[in-house]
Structure 1
Amino acid sequence: MLSYSSYLLTAVAALLATCHALPKCPGIPGLPDVPGQDGLKGQPHLPGLIEPSGSLMGSAGRDGLPGPQGLPDSLDTELHNVLVNLKHRLSRLEGVLALNGKIKEVGEKILASNGKKVDFASALESCEEAGGTLATPMNEEENKAVLSIVKQYNQYAYLGIKEGGTSGQFKYINGTPLNYTKWHQYEPNGKGTEKCVEMYTDGSWNDKKCNLYRLTICEF
């Protein structure tokens, strides 16, 4: 799973690549043979191929005419510098958040908590609105990472696990069977009445009702 900076950089890069190819991209002046913001009229053929550098090759278009040229080198360099600067700033921000214990990286996942205690449905909704889901440990390393946030706030936390249609059978939010568990001794014992799962401050799990207030920890 990508980090915050990777997500944003990928989106920005995709947007910039699209702007190179589209005839009218907001904020970029009209190019030779391509109608742009300044209203220069373009040829009716398709644009050429995009080289790795981001400039357009003079590949033949639909009507056989050469494709349009790419952005000037100076503009390509400027866009590259913007991306480098953005990556640097996001990296620094991520480092500050990690230093303050607001986020925790483990493998390909990033864990984060807003410190709020809500019921299971509200916790899941807030995580999904942020582009993630409830923290779901799938191995011992991930369980310890979630535990570090639980200990920081000294609050039990809901996990992204729920009881399925069969009593005592728990699954991930997406419906797949668990491949790792950390049940507390004699748990789960709710017998169909406790359909959610919380993490204790020792890292073990307990089945619990879904309407109680527990710490929200999301994973991305």
Structure 2
Amino acid sequence: MFSYASYMLTAVAALLVTCHALCKCPGIPGLPGIRGRDGLKGWLHPPGLTGPYGNLMGPPRRGHLPQLQGLPGFLDIELDDVLVNLKHRLSRLEGVLALNGKIREVGEKILASNGKEVDFASALESCEEAGGTLATPMNEEENKAVLDIVKQYNRYAYLGIKEDETSGQFKDINGTPLNYTKWHQYEPNGKGTENCVEMYTDGSWNDKKCNLNRLTICEF
């Protein structure tokens, strides 16, 4: 009777003989036979690695340069999205740090002030040079975040809102009509003579002339 080890060796030998016949790959010398039977066939050698020039680990042919395999398409797209997002965040942080003042984060926005009081054009220019624009609250949460900075300096601040010369409507810097407003009672009342908007220290808005000095608050 064969022992358990003998059965296992015989089964492995049969499997390897079959693989050897199919692959026609050279093997190493077999193990000694048991009780007159054939020895275990040698292990199959795996195929050699393909070299960077298309040969089996051979030297490069003249005029042929190695070609690196790229990432799968979907990974390339995901990586591009990550890099774009990182660049955007870094540019915003650089702008905020350049202002070196009070900072607030609200939703996807970062608000910052350098504490300077200038006219509307100068305030807008300093924000754009830092990579942002004048703070423009789009909802109550953002208005409260701007108000936090206004209260810290206890100064009125310009908002990124101007009156359209043609329609008389107040719009953001990009010319988009406002979906959110926080006008003080009876405001706006400038009737075309007060084209900019300031925030009071209670968070309400007032239309005002653009040549007065107000606190600069930028958003990124």
What TM-score comes out, normalization by structure 2 length? 0.57
Secondary structure at the aligned position of 2:147 is classed as: helix
Shift of 1:102: 1.7
Q: What SS class does the counterpart of residue 116 from structure 2 fall into?
A: strand
1:51-76 CA-partner distances (Å, limit 9, x unpaired):
79x9xxxxxxxxxxxxxxxxxxxxxx
2:123 maps to: 123
Counterpart residue identity of residue 135, structure 1: A
Q: Verify the 8 A CA contact 1:194 1:208 in the aligned structure 2.
A: yes
For 2:102 and 2:202, locate their aligned partners in 1 and report how far apart those are by CA, in whole Å: 20
Matched residue type, 2:102: K
Q: Any runs of at least 4 consecutive aligned residues in structure 1 with deviations exceeding 4 A, and if so which? A: 42-47
Mapped partners of 2:67, 2:128: distance in 1? 39
3-state secondary structure, aligned to 2:180: coil
Q: Deviations over 1:173-213 (max 9, x none)?
A: 00010000000011001110100000000000000000000
* Unaligned 5+ runs, structure 2: 1-51, 54-62, 76-89
Alpha-carbon deviation of 1:45? 6.9
**1:71-220 correspondence runs (5 A):** 102-166=102-166, 168-220=168-220
Query: 1:164 and 1:102 mapped to 2: Cα distance?
Result: 30
1:168, CA displacement in angstroms? 4.0
Q: CA RMSD in A?
A: 3.2
The alpha-carbon deviation at position 165 of structure 1 amounts to 2.2
> Percent identity between the aligned chains?
85
Q: Matches of 1:141 and 1:174 in 2, distance apart? A: 21
Give 1:191's aligned amino acid. K
For residues 66-125 of structure 1, give each alpha carbon's deviation from its aligned partner in whole angstroms, at most 9, with x where no partner exists. Answer: xxxxxxxxxxxxxxxxxxxxxxxx9xx99xx9xx97210000000000000000000000
How far residue 46 of structure 1 moved from its aligned partner, in angstroms, is 6.2
Q: Shift of the alpha carbon at 1:169?
A: 1.0
Conserved 8 A contact 1:168-1:188? no
What amino acid is aligned across from residue 70 of structure 2 in structure 1? L
The one-letter code sitting in structure 2 at the alignment partner of 1:115 is: G
Q: Measure the CA separation in 1 of the matches of 2:154 and 2:170.
A: 25
Rounded to whole Å, the distance in 1 between the matches of 2:145 and 2:101 is 11
Hey, what's the Cα distance between the residues in 2 that align with 1:188 and 1:168? 11
